Structure 1
Amino acid sequence: MKIDELDVRIVELFSEDAGIGVLAASRLLGVARATVQSRLDKLRAAGVVQGMAPTLNPANFGYPVMAIVSIEIVQGMGHVPVGTALREIPEIVEMYTVSGDHDVMVRVVARSNDDLQRVLDSVSSASAVNRTRSVVVLQTHFQNRVLPLFAHVGGAAERNAE
């Protein structure tokens, strides 16, 4: 899919304020409302934009501790049973199957270090989990940083057109 500078500007606007609305965005961008709407529709249909949901920060509603946990699963079980079991733990906010020494990586949040221990015990008790290793995140420098990449792609399209 071709992404241009207008697509980038639209996505940036809605990323900064998901509730801005198409009409307000069109006024700020100096383009027709229908143009903004059709661009958003095109980006959604292509799966580039997957929603306009609010971004939640667990630290701001009582979960300031974060850890990255690597999980080795029981051989022969596959990743589906571990995914099913871990989905039941609400403090697990991301899960990835990975290559390398471990089979799964998860990002977990907790209310405190003691609460983190409880969450890790829940992870370890899943029948498909053989072993875990965890590291506590001390500071988040950035996360979910996709907008600069999207802007780069949109800018590259403009440069290639010249």
Structure 2
Amino acid sequence: MTDSADRAIIAHLRRDGRATVAQIAADVSLSPAAVSRRLARLERSGVIRGYTAIIDDTRVGGLEAFIEIRMLGAVDAEQLADLARGIPQILEFYNVAGDPDLLVRLRVDDREELAGVVNQLRRTGLIAGTKTLIVLNSWIRT
């Protein structure tokens, strides 16, 4: 369970994941030792699952896309999640309510690579249909 101090630490990390314990402590009005203990607890409990860089993919190149997936019958979404973990271009995988059944976000170098990933998913025999959406512009809350 998190309290207001934990939420303040999390908010600081969302703004600056590279902040030092001392910087966070000054921002949230706690001692560095208290912030260190709280960070360790948040990491152990899984609230903080890791630290990452936010990349501006428009400067990297390539295509970002979403694939809507409709599963065949009563296919277990975990089967597709296992499949997705084996496809390095897939960045995120969501099991959603409604239509479609699953939503996948991926990044590829070009349209040919995108077609290859879509075909790889379709060939599993687990999927009734797909719809691919290519990202033109994006905005991400940081």
The TM tier, using the shorter chain, reads 0.7 to 0.9
Structure 1 Cα separation of the partners of residues 43 and 60 of structure 2: 30
Are 1:86 and 1:126, in contact at CA under 8 Å, matched by a contact in 2? no
1:47 deviation in Å?
A: 3.0
Structure 2 Cα separation of the partners of residues 92 and 129 of structure 1: 16
Q: Which residue of 2 is the match for residue 115 of structure 1?
A: 113
Amino acid at match of 2:124: A
Amino acid at match of 1:131: G
Q: Which residue of 1 is the match for residue 49 of structure 2?
A: 50
1:69 deviation in Å?
A: 0.9
How many residues in Structure 1 have an aligned counterpart in Structure 2?
Answer: 142
Whose radius of gyration is greater, 1 or 2?
1
Which moved further from structure 2: 116-125 or 18-27?
18-27
Structure 2 Cα separation of the partners of residues 72 and 21 of structure 1: 44
Which structure is higher in RCO with an 8 Å CA cutoff and minimum separation 6? 1
Alignment of 1:79-118 (within 5 A): 79-118=77-116
Measured at CA, do residues 130 and 35 of structure 1 come closer, stay the same or move farther in structure 2, by a change above 3 Å? same
SS in 2 for 1:71: strand
State the Cα deviation string for residues 8-58 of structure 1 (Å, max 9, x = none). 443344334433332443356554221111221333344322222334555
Are 1:66 and 1:136, in contact at CA under 8 Å, matched by a contact in 2? yes
Would you say 1:137 and 2:140 are equivalent positions? no
Structure 1 Cα separation of the partners of residues 44 and 118 of structure 2: 38
Q: Which residue of 2 is the match for residue 38 of structure 1?
A: 37
Structure 2 Cα separation of the partners of residues 108 and 100 of structure 1: 21
RMSD, aligned CA? 2.6
- Identity over aligned pairs, percent: 23
Q: Which residue of 1 is the match for residue 19 of structure 2?
A: 20
Q: Gaps spanning 5+ residues in structure 2: where? A: none
Measured at CA, do residues 25 and 83 of structure 1 come closer, stay the same or move farther in structure 2, by a change above 3 Å? closer
Are 1:82 and 1:129, in contact at CA under 8 Å, matched by a contact in 2? no
1:79 deviation in Å?
A: 1.8
Q: Which residue of 2 is the match for residue 158 of structure 1?
A: none
Q: TM-score, normalised by structure 2?
A: 0.78
Moved over 4 A (4+): 27-30, 56-62
Measured at CA, do residues 2 and 20 of structure 1 come closer, stay the same or move farther in structure 2, by a change above 3 Å? closer
Q: Gaps spanning 5+ residues in structure 1: where? A: 146-162
1:126 deviation in Å?
A: 1.9
